[in-house]
Chains A and B, each alone.
Chain A
Amino acid sequence: MKKDEALAHYRAMLLIRRFEERCAQLYVQGKIGGFLHLYIGQEAVAVGAMGLLRPDDYFVTSYRDHGYALARGTDPRPLMAELCGKIGGISRGKGGSMHFYDVPSGNFGGDGIVAGHLPIAAGMGYSIRIRETDQVVVCFFGDGAVNEGAFHEALNVSALWGLPVVFVIENNRYGMGTSISRASSVKDLYQRGSAYGIPRQDVDGMDLLAVREALGEAIERARKDKQPTLLEAETYRYRGHSMSDPGKYRTKDEIEEMMSHDPVRLFAKHLRKKHRVAATHLEAMDKDVLAQVEDAVKYAEQSPWPAPETLYEDVYVRSPFINARAADRDPAWRAARSEDRVPQEFPVPDDAKVGS
């Protein structure tokens, strides 16, 4: 990695860290509701992956999904607005924390059903094979997902048909309060790949460079050889499962041990040693990132609430093959439009642009 690229990666990790910390505050203040799953501690995985994807590649994620969108370069402002349930949100206030999508950047997002998006990743891979392009799909999920039937079905068909999908287990050691030792018969989760005869690898998920190397190989294999890979990134979530979880099932020693391998600090060390980046430079970057997050909060606060009429929008696609006279008695059909929305067209309150 060149210096500029390395700095951009660092900034992306820092942005996720600061964004998530701010989310936690907003949740406590009651500005963010529902389930809020923070990505703090796992930044190196999303950032390492996104640095390798081409603009036309696809990815799908679980509900712990803020980091991927930020790492992919999605504007933090509509993301924060989504968390606050505003119309300027990336999903117009209909998805919330678990459902970030940004289709123009290949982000088919946030799935709330554990392992529910794995067969979907296979389907995207299948479309790539039919169209004979060299795109790839990266599918991120937690250690808990490997025990679902959908994991097995998706990996089997991906291996069987040669689908260009990289399956990334983010093993943060727990699915809610259940440790992998109490959930999986096999402790090395990547070895599950042997059941499908596919390449598999374990990688230190706290080390951005290691993630990049392993993922880089897997992505190339998908692109060139049309072969799926099962990667296990060993990582850790510093916070509880969601904001309502104090995480009492983990020992203080374990948490401290993992936090001593902090991915952001680890990469800062690398920047200073390898690229001779001054500490003051990194501090200035942190200030800049904090300002960017504040700007996103401001945008979110200024974005209006969704109007009640929007309730019925975005259920159906208006189509000439539906008898509109009958269908339009239903408000969801009446509100249906024929085009898809793109985040760029979502309403932007004018004065929120300040400082961006």
Chain B
Amino acid sequence: MAVITMRDALNQAMREEMRRDPSVFLIGEEVGQYQGPYKVTQGLIQEFGEWRVRDTPIAEEAIAGVAVGAAFVGMRPIAEMMTFNFSLLALDQIVNHAAKYRYMSGGQVRCPMVLRGPSGAAAQVAAQHSQAFESWFTHVPGLVVAMPSTPSDAKGLLKASIRDDNPVIFMENEVLYNLKGEVRDEEYTIPLGLGDVKREGKDVTIVAWSRSVQRALEAADLLAAEGVEAEIVDPRTLRPLDEDVIFDSVRKTNRCVVVEEGWRYAGFGAEVADRVQRGCFDDLDAPILRITAADVPMPYSKKLEKAYLPQPKQIIDAVNQVLYR
């Protein structure tokens, strides 16, 4: 086991898959000569050359569309969005093309591509550069959506996403790129749609993904000091969703809090809450509570940014509420 950053884990995943399979290539803004806007693709152009690590103009629809077209004829492109904020300019390629051609063609076409990059809040970059988009992409049938929270998960899930034959939206998090964690030395993949318990506990289930897992872990430590043991369930993939790992936990704790960084209105947490209330109705001892970002555009000021984002304190309050403490 080596302890590495999320950034290096992602880099290793791409490097290993590009070595293994000549149909894998990478395309995006600054992914090559600049070594990646966040250095996730460091060193890849040196090893694989400019055709397999393609620097592009600032043209998100072309980046996504080139990936889609190449995937239709048997390549396995990895398209990088500098951040998911800019994926809105590529949305037509993802929603109308990558996700739909298999269906519209009666099963003749497949689109084995990955669209990856950082999503979620960064640090003080304001409304257009700090948004969580998982609810947008999970809404679309035909897509797979993965959101890792640890270096180990990032590596295993990215390798699976590259090998999978469906279009995978792979959302990373800028703030997590420096997060360190243990990663196995031997080759491995993690199946998409398999959740993971990030902390065991008997009193309450906290469902969280991506950076929210960190916030939930912080909250759980503080709760433990008060004698409350929270179980943290990270689905890791939001579509398809591993209901089993969530339901098993809720059936044990009888209480559920869902934490997400996106807006509350029609956020993915509502999908989780809907499934839990149907799947575990008799097991629930309290209403399911949701912790989300504030329903406003992201502000710039440090103080306001903090007020906007879900904080461990809010998670603790919600846990206390479902425990009637």
Number of cross-chain contacts by CB at 8 Å: 192
CA distance A340 to B194 in the complex (A): 25
Q: Does B31 contact A (CB under 8 A)?
A: no
Residues on A with beta carbons closer than 8 Å to the beta carbon of B70:
123-124, 126-127, 130
State the CA gap A110–B104 with chains docked (Å).
9
Task: Bits for B57-71, please: 1 = Cβ < 8 Å to A, else 0.
Answer: 101011011111111
Given A314-B107, A332-B141, A122-B191 contact (CB < 8 Å): no
A118 interfacial contact with B, CB 8 Å: yes
Query: Is B164 part of the contact surface with A, judged by Cβ < 8 Å?
Result: yes
Contact mask for chain B residues 278-314; partner A; CB cutoff 8 A; 1 contact, 0 none: 0000000000000000000000000000000000000
Query: Cβ of B105 < 8 Å from any Cβ of A?
Result: yes
Contacting B at CB under 8 A, from A232-278, are none
Contact of B227 with A by CB under 8 A: no
Contact yes or no, A326 B110, CB < 8 A: no
Task: Decide if B86 is an interface residue (CB 8 Å cutoff).
Answer: no
CB distance from B159 to the nearest CB of A (A): 9
State how many angstroms separate the Cβ of A14 from the closest Cβ of chain B: 27
Least CB separation from A121: chain B residue: B69
Expressed in whole angstroms, the minimum distance between the Cβ of A303 and any Cβ of chain B is 13
Alpha-carbon gap, A286 to B164, bound state (A): 49
Q: Mark A116-159, 1 if CB is under 8 A from B, else 0.
A: 11111111111101100000000000000000011001101100
What size tier do the contact residues of chain B reach?
Answer: 35 or more
- Given A58-B73, A323-B191, verify A315-B244 contact (CB < 8 Å): no
Given A322-B144, A323-B193, verify A123-B68 contact (CB < 8 Å). yes
Residue in A129, A130, A153, A161 with the greatest tally of chain B CB atoms within 10 Å: A153
A-binding segment of B90-98, B115-123, B125-133, B203-211: B90-98
Contact A326 B65 (CB under 8 A): no
Residue of A nearest to B90 (CB): A119
For B65, the chain A residues whose CB sits under 8 A away are 116, 118-120, 122-123, 150, 153-154
Contact A329–B106 (Cβ < 8 Å)? no
Q: Name 16 A/B residue pairs within 8 A (Cβ), A-sorted.
A: A91-B106, A92-B107, A113-B96, A113-B97, A119-B61, A119-B93, A123-B67, A123-B68, A130-B75, A153-B57, A313-B107, A316-B102, A323-B192, A323-B237, A326-B195, A329-B243
B residues at A contact (CB < 8 Å): 25, 51-52, 54, 56-57, 59, 61-62, 64-75, 77, 92-93, 96-97, 101-110, 112, 141-142, 144, 160-161, 163-166, 189, 191-195, 237, 240-244
A-B contacts besides A123-B72, A130-B52, 18 pairs, CB < 8 Å: A91-B104, A91-B105, A93-B106, A108-B73, A108-B109, A110-B104, A119-B69, A123-B67, A130-B75, A153-B57, A153-B59, A317-B110, A321-B192, A322-B192, A323-B193, A326-B240, A327-B193, A340-B108
Q: Which residues of A contact B (CB under 8 A)?
A: 58, 60, 89-95, 99, 101-103, 108-113, 116-127, 129-130, 149-150, 153-154, 156-157, 160-161, 313-317, 319, 321-323, 325-327, 329-330, 332-333, 337-338, 340-343, 346
